[in-house]
């Protein structure tokens, strides 16, 4: 049943399917040195999307994430295989920056890339360091997405780091992956202050009560659904949203309405003349 107070939960329980679509804004792909995944290649990922009603998936594959020299091409090939279902985040490797090349790659392939992803702790490098400004300038102009791996208390990708970026680049749609896990309330304050900051739900299912706190403090319009697929099951996140003490209207916002609004707002336009890059 999951939640006797929710029509959406009731419909899910009867069929095992969510009666609405899902946009997943935080995913990966392919194997990872530290983890066994029952599935992780692009075909299985899309099969899993089909099974769980995920219409679009925004991802950065592990090869791109962990091989700064050779990995990005795997993101491109995956999207090109499933162009209607997938969009990639180009990774920003803080210790291997090449803005001229990387901005060109993103700007000339709008059907592949939705924006960039940055992980401060994984690079042991603060995300708000000025060396990243060319990327943020580009995103600020194009309004493409920036997915940030956020973690509570981190000196590299904590709330203060995100605030610095949000302040200086108010047009970037910043998606806070993991919602500052561990220091969630700092994140709530951030969404109140900066209208361009969004929450993303990966890791939140393991902290009961946090989703309700975000909704109460910042509203469900600033929350995007995400799973870290293939790390975590889509249904694990779906069940959390269905079971949480929020309204069905909030749930629909989270599953797809906010994603649709965000994508409509950012469009696919380019603000960069590729000849200048």
Query: Are 122 and 147 within 8 A, CB to CB?
Result: no
- For the record, the structure tokens of 104 come out as 């060109």
> Toward other proteins, which CB reaches closer, 232 or 270?
232
Q: How far is the CB of 146 from other proteins (least distance, A)?
A: 24
* Pick 33 or 265: Cβ nearer other proteins: 33
Rounded to whole angstroms, how far apart are CA atoms 32 and 107? 28
Residue 16 CB, nearest approach to other proteins (Å) = 5
Binding site for other proteins (CB under 8 A): 1-5, 9, 12-13, 16-17, 34-39, 48, 51-52, 184, 203, 205-211, 227, 229-244
Rounded to a whole number of angstroms, the minimum distance from the CB of residue 235 to other proteins is: 4
The H or E element that residue 115 is part of is strand 113-119
Closest to other proteins by CB, 2 vs 277, is 2
Distance of closest approach, residue 46 Cβ to other proteins, in angstroms: 13
Q: Which is nearer to other proteins, 68 or 243 (CB)?
A: 243
| Of 111, 105, 160, 161, the residue nearest 135 (C-alpha) | 105
Q: How far is the CB of 79 from other proteins (least distance, A)?
A: 19
Buried residues in 7-26 as b, exposed as e (16+ CB within 10 A):
ebbeebeeeeebebebbbbb
CB of 151 to other proteins, least distance (A): 12
Give 34 or 70: the residue with its C-beta nearer to other proteins.
34
Q: Which is nearer to other proteins, 44 or 137 (CB)?
A: 44
How many C-beta atoms surround the C-beta of residue 71 within 10 A?
18
In a 3-state reduction of DSSP, which class is residue 111? Answer: coil
| CA–CA separation, 227 and 126 (whole Å) | 24
Sign of CA dihedral 112, 116, 120, 126: positive
Please, what is the minimum distance in Å from the beta carbon of residue 123 to other proteins? 19
| CB closer to other proteins, 141 vs 233 | 233
Which residues, listed in sequence order, are joined to residue 42 by a DSSP beta bridge?
none
The answer to whether the CB of 178 falls within 8 A of the CB of 149 is yes
């Amino acid at each position: 049943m999951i939640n006797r107070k929710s029509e959406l939960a009731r419909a899910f329980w009867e069929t095992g399917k969510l009666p609405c679509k899902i946009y997943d804004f935080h995913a990966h792909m392919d194997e990872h040195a530290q983890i066994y995944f029952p599935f992780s290649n692009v075909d299985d990922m899309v099969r899993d999307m089909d099974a769980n009603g995920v219409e679009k998936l925004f991802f950065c594959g592990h090869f791109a994430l962990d091989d700064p020299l050779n990995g990005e091409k795997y993101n491109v090939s995956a999207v090109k295989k499933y162009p209607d279902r997938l969009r990639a985040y180009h990774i920003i490797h803080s210790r291997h920056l090449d803005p001229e090349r990387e901005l060109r790659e993103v700007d000339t392939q709008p059907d592949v890339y939705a924006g960039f992803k940055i992980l401060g702790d994984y690079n042991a490098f603060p995300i708000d360091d000025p060396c990243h400004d060319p990327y943020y300038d580009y995103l600020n102009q194009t309004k493409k997405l920036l997915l940030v791996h956020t973690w509570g208390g981190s000196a590299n990708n904590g709330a203060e780091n995100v605030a610095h970026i949000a302040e200086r680049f108010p047009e970037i749609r910043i998606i806070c992956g993991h919602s500052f896990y561990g220091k969630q309330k700092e994140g709530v304050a951030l969404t109140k202050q900066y209208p361009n900051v969004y929450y993303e739900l990966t890791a939140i299912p393991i902290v009961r009560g946090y989703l309700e706190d975000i909704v109460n403090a910042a509203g469900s319009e600033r929350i995007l659904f995400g799973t870290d697929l293939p790390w975590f099951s889509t249904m694990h996140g779906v069940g959390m949203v269905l079971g949480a003490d929020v309204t069905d209207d909030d749930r629909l916002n989270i599953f797809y309405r906010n994603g649709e609004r965000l994508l409509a707002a950012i469009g696919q336009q380019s603000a960069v003349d590729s000849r200048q890059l």
